[in-house]
Chain A
C-alpha cells in the first residue's frame, strides 16, 4: 500500500536540510561527489558508512529529565524505604536472575530481547551538559559543539550516503529536544525533522505533511495560484536563490500530495495492536517509530518528556512507568515479530539517573534529584544481545560497583554496529580536525566498548 511512496520521489527529496538544487547538482558534477566538501578543505573525503553493519536503524527512546534507575532497571529492594519508597517489590523477568522494577511487568516478559547497562556514569548533574555528554560522547566545555548521535547517523547513513527515502533520515517524535543544537557544528542540514502533532490523537497531524480541512483539489488550486502570482520570480528567471526555493517547493509538494500521509496514518494499523502499544502519545510514538524504521528511516528519536521528578516522584512513576512498560515492550515484540529487531537498535536512556535516596521532606515530598554518578540504560536489537546485564551499581545504587560504562562506550558500540567508524573524521566548518567520538588522546574517560553484549 505504500510502495509508491519511495518510487516517485526518491530522487527529488534528497534532503530536508539541503535540497539538491540544479546549481548544486552542477557543482557536484564539476567537482565530483565531494565537490562541496572540497570547498571546506575536506578533499574527497566521503562520509558514507563503509564498514559492515549489523544495524540499519536506531530508535532512541529519550527519557528527557532523567528517569530513576532504581525504580526502573536497577531495583534495590534491600536498601529499604529510604531508597525505594513504595516501589520495593521488583519482579522477576523471563531471564532468570534479572529483576526489574515492579511497574514494568510487560517488559519483564521481553527481557530476553534487551540488555541492561547498570553502570553508566558521567558524573554530571546539569540537564544540558549531561544531555550533551550522553548524546554526543564528548565532554562539555570544549570550543566545539559536537553533533548528537542522530545527526552523526544522519551524516553517515542519510542522503550523503545514498539513502533514497522520501521521509527525512532523522525524525523526532514529536518535538525537538532543545537544550543544545542537536546537529552541533554539522549545521542545520543534519537537524532532525520534528513531526509536531500528537500520534495519540485520532489524526496524527504531522506538521506540514498532513493538513486537516484542505482537500487535495484545493491544494492543487492553491499551488497553481501561487505559481500564477509569482511576479518577482518572472522578473528574475535566472536567480539561483529562487531556484533553490522552487526545488524545495517541489519536494514539499511530493510530501503534501504524495503518499507520505499514509505512512503517518496510524489508523492503518490493527486496533488491537494499537491498544497493546497504549493509546497515549508515547505508545503511539513507538508504533510510529516502528513504521518509520520499516520504511528504512535510519534514526528516530522519541522525545519522551516528564522524567524530571523533583517533587512527588512516586506519583509520577505510577503514571509514567505503565506507559513506558506497554509502549516499549510492544515495540520490542512487534519489531521482533516482523524480523526488524535484528537490524534495529533500540536505545532507552535519559541524561542521568536520580538520587537513590528519596527526599521525603518538604517541598520535595518524596522527590528525587539529578544523579549523573550512576544510572541505567537499556539497549536491544541491531546486534546487541538480549537477556544480559552489563556492570553493576553498589547496594544503594549510588556508586558504580563494577565495569563503568561512559557515554562514549555506549555510543561507540552503537556506531560500530551501524558500520560507522567511531574514530572517523567529521566535517567541520572551520576545518578543525574533529572525530565522531573523542580519540584516546583527548583524555575522555572510557570503560571500553560493550563487547560482552555485541
Chain B
C-alpha cells in the first residue's frame, strides 16, 4: 500500500493545482458522498430529522484521510499517503483505506494504549504492577488486539486467568488495582466490563458481587516481584465475603450458591459473558462508539445506570446486535462505524446547538491525545523523544525512537506527556485522560526549545530551505506533511507573502511556516 503508482505521481503536479484552488468552503466539506448509506445513518439521521437538527455536510477526502488515520491507528498519514488518497479517484477508496488501516501494526499499538489506560497498566504507584509484569501485560493486550481476539474471549481470559504475573499476563488484571480486597476487585470488574460505577450501588449489591472474588489469592515466589494469582478456597477473605452459605449475588439481583469445586470467577464470567447479559455487550458497543465519536450513546460511557439512558436507544441496540452477530469481532464494529456517513460528517457544524453535538450531527473537534500529538510532531520532524521511568530497579530501557503510543507502561513517561494530559492510570476511568487545551501546553508548543529544536533540525525544513524551490512549492510540501492536505490559494499567497516580506531570512520563513502549521488549530485537533 505504500507503493507510489507512477501515474499518480505524474498527475500529482497539475492535479495539485486543481485541488489547491479549492476554496475554504470545499476544503473541509464535500457536497456529495460516495459512501453508501447504512443502518447507523438511518437511525442517527432519522433522529436528527425528528429533532429538526441540520447535520453537517459530508467531510472532504482530505479531512477523511487525516481523521481516519488518527482515529484508527493514532498516527498521522505521511505526505505521500495523504496525497495518494486525495488524488485517488476510485469511489470505494474510503472503505478500502479503512480495511487497510485496521490491519496495520499501529492499530494494535494505539488500541493497546487505550486498553492499558482502562486496565491501568503501570509499574508504579499506586498500581504497582512493577516493570516486568507491566511489560508482559501490555504485550498480551497488544497481541490480543493484533490477532483480533474476540472480545468475549479477551474478557474471559482477564477475568479467569490464574498463574504467574510474568507468565500468565492476564492475571495482572487482579493486580492492577489499588486495593486487592474483594470489594475493590468487584468495583474494577464492574467498571471495566459493565461500564458501571459500583461505588454508587447499595452496599448489599456490591457485597454480593465481591463474593465472587473472595477466593482470589496472591502469593509471591523467590523471583523478584513475581506474584502468583490463583483460586484460593482457603483465603481468609472467604469467611468475610462469602461466608459458610457460599451465597453470592449477581448484579441483576439473582443469587447463587457457589459450588466448592469451581473457581467463583468462572461462575461470574459465565453469567457476564453472554449475549443475553444486559451489561456486557452494551458496555463495549457504547465504548467503541464513544472512542470514535467522542461521546457515548450513553454518556459518560463508564457511567451506565438506569437514570442515564442512551440518547439513541435503537442505535445502541443496533450496534449490540451487530457485535453479537459478528461473534464479538471488535474490528467489525469499528468497520461498521467508520464506514457510516455519520462518522464521515464534516466537523463544521450545520447546527451549533449542544443538542446537535449530543446527537452526532457533526464530527466533534478533539485535541489530539498527548501521545498521538508528540508522535505526529516526531514523524513530521524526524525526531525522537527521551522517556524515563522513575523505577530504579530493574532499570527499564526505553529506546528513544519508540513511539509514544507504543509505550508499554504508564510509568514510562516524559514531561511532554505529563503536560498534555496523559492519564495517570490510577482509576481506569475514561475521564482520566485530559485533552483540554491549557495555556501551559500552548506555551510549550509555541515557544519551547523542545519543539523549536525539532522543527529547526528537521529534514523537512532543511531540505526545503536548501532547495531553490519557489515558496509555493515549499508550502505545498509542508501542508501535505503537516496538515495532510493541499493548501488553498489564499494560504499559498499568505505563505508567499511571508517568505517575500523581507522581515525574516529564507530559512526562517520555512521554519516559521512549519511552526505555524504545527501550531494551527487544524493540526492540534482531530477534525
Contacts and interface: CB of A to CB of B under 8 A. Distances in A.
A178 B27 CA distance: 43
Interface in A40-82: none
Given A228-B494, A236-B349, A252-B439, A179 B390 contact: yes
B195 to A, nearest CB: 14
Contacts of A232: 28, 520-522, 525, 527
A188 B24 contact: no
B415 A176 contact: yes
A143 B186 CA distance: 13
A16 interface: yes
B438 A18 contact: yes
B447 A229 contact: no
B524 interface: yes
Interface in A421-446: 429-430, 432
Interface residues of B, number: 72
Contacts of A218: 503-504, 508, 512
A247 B437 CA distance: 9
A112 interface: no
Interface in B415-432: 415, 418-419, 421, 424, 426-427, 429, 431
B439 A16 contact: yes
Interface string A167-188: 0100000011011110011011
A356 B488 CA distance: 70
A236 B347 contact: yes
B426 A145 contact: yes
Given A218-B512, A231-B488, A143 B179 contact: yes
A211 B28 contact: no
Contacts of A217: 503
B430 to A, nearest CB: 11
A207 B448 contact: yes
A429 B179 contact: no
B437 A248 contact: yes
Interface string A138-163: 00111101000000000000000000
A437 B312 CA distance: 43
Interface string B430-466: 0100101111111110111110100000000000000
A233 interface: yes
A196 B450 CA distance: 10
B390 A128 contact: yes
Interface string A373-412: 0000000000000000000000000000000000000000
Interface string A109-143: 00000000000000000011100100000001111
B444 A207 contact: yes
Interface string B5-20: 0000000000000000
Interface in A243-285: 244-245, 247-249, 251-253, 255-256
Contact of A234 (B24, B347, B419, B450): B24
A235 to B, nearest CB: 5
A256 B443 contact: yes
Contacts of A27: none
Given A231-B27, A235-B348, A225 B418 contact: no
B438 A233 contact: no
B516 interface: yes
A143 B128 CA distance: 13
B415 A143 contact: no
A252 B494 contact: no
A22 interface: no
B418 A191 contact: yes
A235 B362 CA distance: 14
B51 to A, nearest CB: 19
B513 interface: yes
Contacts, number: 194
Given A208-B446, A231-B491, A252-B443, A180 B438 contact: no
A30 to B, nearest CB: 14
B407 to A, nearest CB: 14
Interface string B490-512: 11001100100101100010001
Nearest to A242: B521
A337 interface: no
A208 B447 contact: yes
A245 B431 contact: no
B441 A248 contact: yes
A194 B434 CA distance: 18
A19 interface: yes
B125 interface: yes
B199 interface: yes
Contacts of A429: 429, 431
Nearest to A12: B439
A452 interface: no
A176 B418 contact: yes
A362 interface: no
Nearest to B184: A143
Contacts of A432: 199
A302 to B, nearest CB: 17
Contacts of A211: 447-449, 452
Contact of B442 (A132, A179, A225, A248): A248
A214 interface: yes
A342 interface: no
Contacts of A225: 494, 498, 512-513, 516
Interface in B94-149: 124-126, 128
B515 interface: yes
Interface in A180-212: 180-181, 184-185, 187-189, 191, 193-194, 196, 205, 207-209, 211-212
Contacts of A209: 443, 447
A174 B426 CA distance: 25
A17 B525 CA distance: 18
A346 B503 CA distance: 49
A142 B184 CA distance: 10
Contact of B447 (A17, A141, A193, A252): A252
Contact of A239 (B365, B437, B515): B365
Contacts of A96: none
A415 interface: no
B156 interface: no
A109 B349 CA distance: 68
B452 A214 contact: yes
Contacts of A244: 436-437
B480 to A, nearest CB: 15
B472 interface: no
B521 A233 contact: yes
A308 B393 CA distance: 12
B126 A141 contact: yes
A244 to B, nearest CB: 5
A242 B512 contact: no
A307 interface: no
A13 interface: yes
A229 B491 contact: yes
Interface string B164-204: 00000000000000110000100100000000010100000
Interface of A: 13, 15-19, 127-129, 132, 140-143, 145, 168, 175-176, 178-181, 184-185, 187-189, 191, 193-194, 196, 205, 207-209, 211-212, 214, 217-219, 221-222, 225-226, 228-236, 238-239, 241-242, 244-245, 247-249, 251-253, 255-256, 308, 429-430, 432
8 contacts: A19-B439, A127-B390, A128-B390, A188-B438, A235-B25, A241-B366, A248-B437, A256-B443
- Give the 8 A-B residue pairs with the shortest CB-CB distance, closest first: A208-B443, A128-B125, A181-B424, A251-B439, A252-B442, A232-B522, A16-B440, A248-B442
Given A205-B449, A233-B521, 17 more contacts: A16-B438, A145-B178, A179-B125, A180-B424, A189-B438, A207-B443, A207-B450, A208-B440, A208-B443, A217-B503, A225-B498, A225-B512, A234-B24, A241-B365, A242-B365, A242-B521, A308-B392
Interface of B: 24-25, 27-28, 124-126, 128, 178-179, 184, 187, 197, 199, 347-349, 352, 365-367, 388, 390, 392, 413, 415, 418-419, 421, 424, 426-427, 429, 431, 434, 436-444, 446-450, 452, 488, 490-491, 494-495, 498, 501, 503-504, 508, 512-513, 515-517, 519-522, 524-525, 527
